[in-house]
C-alpha cells in the first residue's frame, strides 16, 4: 500500500485503456508551463467522465443514464484537462459551460480547448461559481463539480436546480486521504464535503453513492448522484 504502487498501477491502466493523446498531454504540458497546480483528474478518471457507461462495470445501471448528454456543466476548470474529456463526450451540437474563478486558469483552459478543437462547444465563464451558477438556466444532462470544496453543498444545490430526471452529478475529491470520515474536523473542505453528503442523503430528487479511489492523485474518491425525479 503505497503512493508509488498506486501511481504505477494508474500508469499501467492509463497506458492500456487510455493511450497517448496529444490534446490531453499538451493541455497538461501547457498548464504546467503556465504555473497551474497539477490537481487535474487522472487520465483514467477523465475517461470515466467522458464515457462512464463504457468504462465502468460497477454501477453500470446508474452510469448508463449519462449517455447522450448534450448539455454539460463543470464547476472548476483549471487548465481545461477534465473539460476536454467532458467536451469530447458531446455530440457536435452539444454545449458545455465551465466555470473558473481565476482569469489566468481560464486563459490557459481556452488555449488548451482550442488546441483540442473543442472551443466552439465550450463556454468558459470567469468568476465566482456561486454567482455564475445563480444566473444559469438548465437543464443540464451532466454536472461535474470540482472547484473549492467548502462550497460543495451550494454547488450541489445549484446542480439539482439545473437538472432534469436522469441528470448525473459527479463531485470530485470527496475522500481526500480519508479525512472526510472525521466528524470533528474543522477543515473547511471536510466540513463542506460532509454537508454535501448530508444534503445528497436528504435530497429526495437524488440517489447517490461515493467510491474511494487510490491512484496517481493519492487516496481520494468521487460522488455519483443521479437525479431521479
Q: Are 96 and 74 in contact (CB under 8 A)?
A: yes
Burial category of 203 from C-beta neighbours within 10 Å (exposed 0-12, middle 13-18, buried 19 and up): middle
| Bridge partners for 223 per DSSP | 171, 210
CB of 39 vs ligand DHB, minimal distance in Å: 4
Q: Is 172 a binder of Mg ion (CB under 5 A)?
A: yes
Residue of 129, 135, 189, 122 lying closest to 154 (CA atoms): 129
SS3 assignment, position 211: strand
Instruction: Give the pairing type, strands 206-215 and 95-100.
Output: unpaired
Cell numbers for 175, please give them: 475522500
Q: Is 154 a binder of ligand SAH (CB under 6 A)?
A: no
Site residues (vs ligand DHB, CB under 6 A): 39, 146, 172-173
Instruction: Give the pairing type, strands 218-227 and 122-126.
Output: unpaired
- Measured in degrees and rounded to the nearest 5, phi and psi for residue 204 equal -70, -20
- From the list 34-42, 52-60, 110-118, 193-201, the region that binds ligand SAH by CB under 6 A is 34-42
Q: Which is nearer to ligand SAH, 99 or 118 (CB)?
A: 99
Q: Is 210 a binder of Mg ion (CB under 5 A)?
A: no
- From the list 61-69, 111-119, 143-151, 189-197, the region that binds ligand SAH by CB under 6 A is 143-151
Within a 10 A sphere around the Cβ of 82, how many other Cβ atoms?
Answer: 25
Binding Mg ion (rule: CB under 5 A), the pick from 146, 163, 208, 227 is 146
Q: Which is nearer to ligand DHB, 46 or 52 (CB)?
A: 46
Binding ligand SAH (rule: CB under 6 A), the pick from 24, 69, 78, 223 is 78
Q: Is 173 a binder of Mg ion (CB under 5 A)?
A: yes
Q: Which residues bind ligand SAH (CB under 6 A)?
A: 39-41, 76, 78, 81-82, 99-102, 105, 128-129, 146-148
Q: What residue ranges bind Mg ion (CB under 5 A)?
A: 146, 172-173
Amino acid at each position: 500500500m503505497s503512493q508509488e504502487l498506486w501511481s504505477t498501477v494508474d500508469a499501467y491502466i492509463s497506458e492500456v485503456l487510455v493511450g497517448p493523446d496529444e490534446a490531453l498531454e499538451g493541455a497538461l504540458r501547457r498548464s504546467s508551463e503556465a504555473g497551474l497546480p497539477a490537481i487535474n483528474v487522472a487520465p483514467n478518471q477523465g475517461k470515466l467522465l467522458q464515457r462512464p457507461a463504457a468504462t465502468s462495470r460497477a454501477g453500470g445501471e446508474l452510469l448508463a443514464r449519462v449517455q447522450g448528454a448534450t448539455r454539460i456543466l463543470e464547476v472548476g476548470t483549471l487548465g481545461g484537462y477534465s473539460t476536454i474529456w467532458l467536451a469530447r463526450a458531446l455530440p457536435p451540437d452539444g454545449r458545455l459551460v465551465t466555470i473558473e474563478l481565476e482569469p489566468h486558469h481560464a486563459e490557459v483552459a481556452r488555449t488548451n480547448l482550442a488546441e483540442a478543437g473543442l472551443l466552439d462547444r465550450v463556454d468558459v465563464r470567469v468568476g465566482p461559481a456561486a454567482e455564475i451558477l445563480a444566473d444559469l438556466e438548465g437543464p443540464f444532462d451532466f454536472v461535474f463539480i470540482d472547484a473549492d470544496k467548502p462550497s460543495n453543498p451550494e454547488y450541489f444545490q445549484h446542480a439539482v436546480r439545473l437538472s432534469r430526471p436522469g441528470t448525473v452529478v459527479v463531485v470530485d475529491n470527496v475522500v481526500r486521504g480519508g479525512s472526510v470520515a472525521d466528524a470533528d474536523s474543522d477543515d473547511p473542505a471536510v466540513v463542506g464535503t460532509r454537508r454535501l453528503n448530508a444534503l445528497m442523503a436528504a435530497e429526495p430528487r437524488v440517489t447517490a453513492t461515493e467510491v474511494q479511489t487510490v491512484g496517481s492523485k493519492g487516496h481520494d474518491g468521487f460522488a455519483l448522484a443521479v437525479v431521479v425525479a
